[in-house]
Amino acid sequence: MVLPFIFSRSKKGLNFFLCLLLRIDTGRSNLTALTVKSFQISYKSPDVRAECLPKRYNRNLSLPLEILYPARIRGLVFDLDGTLYAQGPVRRQMLQRLLLAHWNRPLEGFRTLRALQSYRRAQEHLRESADVAHPDLAVAQLTAACRDCGLDHQTLAGLVEHWMDRQPLDLLTAARREGVVELLDLARQRGWKLAVLSDYPADEKLEAMRIRRYFDAVVCAQDPAIGRFKPDPRGLLETLSRIGVTPGEALYVGDRAEVDGEAAARAGMSCAVIAAPGAGKHPENLVTISTFGQLARILTGGAV
């Protein structure tokens, strides 16, 4: 099925009509079925988006020029947790481990679970107050969590290291998203720079997933040069500076539109969010994807 697309007016006020030929498998109901057949344009503005997708495909979809015109891509930056691996299965298995470890000490297990939940809540609180810079973001999160759960710093830090940093490592390879390695191989073949920007130190997780070797830079929000969680754009801008790529030449890949998409928008980047089809409205700088294979096809114009 071939559909004509009419694109919106550019920021410079130029009207133009563009027919983009897309092959859409009508037997499938998600965006995975959409691949670019041909696209040749030297237009510079990133403010290009499809206006007439069929209703079942129209999920407030934005198609940034940087995605549809792969010649401009020089770098990919990835979020880690929930993006490069599926977080749900890992969390379920970790909950089982925690419960089994405390089957004969249920009160201690409850306190441990409550402490870890306080630590995560502290992160979201700091995320919401991202305009405030912290010289040591890790200490700020730990301090806020201790106030909430009543534990001292040393005790809570030990629980976080054991249950959030160490215990999940052997689960990550199995939870790695399908198509990740193939996409990273493709990026390397094309000479694209690769980086990870995570909320927490990511090297050990990437090693456990057997993909650390692919990345030119691994950056986390706790880095002294950043000190803020997304959606503050400082982490993305710092990451791009380390790999020598400008925001207009890079794509950020995450799993939370309200965090990753917003951070990318504020950094002047395009963004792809891996999410279930029909996951709701998103900022106009991103496209939703359901698999990394789909992203690879978009970035190569359907050549893979």
Q: Quote the mean pLDDT of the chain.
A: 78
**CA–CA distance from 101 to each of 88, 112, 152, 162, 167 (Å)?**
20, 11, 22, 12, 12
pLDDT higher than 80, residue 54 = no
What is the architecture, at CATH level 2, of domain 57-85+176-299? 3-Layer(aba) Sandwich (3.40)
Which residue in the block uniquely carries the two structure tokens 């690879």?
296
pLDDT for the residue numbered 223? 92
Position 78 scores a pLDDT of 98
* Tens of pLDDT, residues 59-117: 333 444 444 445 588 999 999 999 999 999 999 999 999 999 999 999 999 999 999 99
Q: Rounded to an integer, what distance in angstroms lies between the CA atom of residue 187 and that of residue 196?
A: 14
- Is-contact 290 274, C-beta < 8 A? yes
Tell me the whole-structure pTM to 2 decimals. 0.76
